[in-house]
Amino acid sequence: MTDPISDMLTRIRNGLAAGKSEVVIPFSTIKHRLVEILIKEKYLTSVEEVTTPWRSLMVRLKYEADDKPAIRHIKRISTPGNRFYVSKDKLPQVLSGLGIALISTSQGLMTNKEAHRKNIGGEVICEVY
């Protein structure tokens, strides 16, 4: 697999489209951190690390009261073949501030809003709203 982060985002997107309550994602530290940020931003419910034959993340998806997914759009921006870096002055604003972009910075993975507060740029991983 050439892009495990895209695979994770696709599993989440497909799970929401199918109305699943949870999805299983192969474990990696960056994926675990991405999911933790999405939980903190109230796009997902919870994550649990499970060990079956291999380490995985059991991600519980979040739905609103009318059974609509909390995540309406999740898109990979920077890919292995086309990295997308932004300076502190050009941090993306997603859906006029209603969504978030996840940025990989020298101080770790964070949202575009947090990167703006800390005045740092980095690689734009994905956008969510």
> What residue spans define the domains of the chain?
4-61, 74-128
What kind of architecture, by CATH, is found in domain 4-61?
Answer: 2-Layer Sandwich (3.30)
- The domain defined by 74-128 folds into Dna Ligase; domain 1 (3.30.1490)
Condensed to tens digits (0 to 9), the pLDDT of residues 13-55 reads 999 999 999 999 999 999 999 999 999 999 999 999 999 889 9
Distances 5 to 29, 44, 87, 88, 102 between C-alpha atoms, Å: 11, 16, 22, 23, 12
Residues near 54 by beta carbon (within 8 Å), at least 6 away in sequence: 26, 27
Condensed to tens digits (0 to 9), the pLDDT of residues 72-99 reads 999 999 999 999 999 999 999 999 999 9
Round to whole Å and give the CA distance between 69 and 62: 6
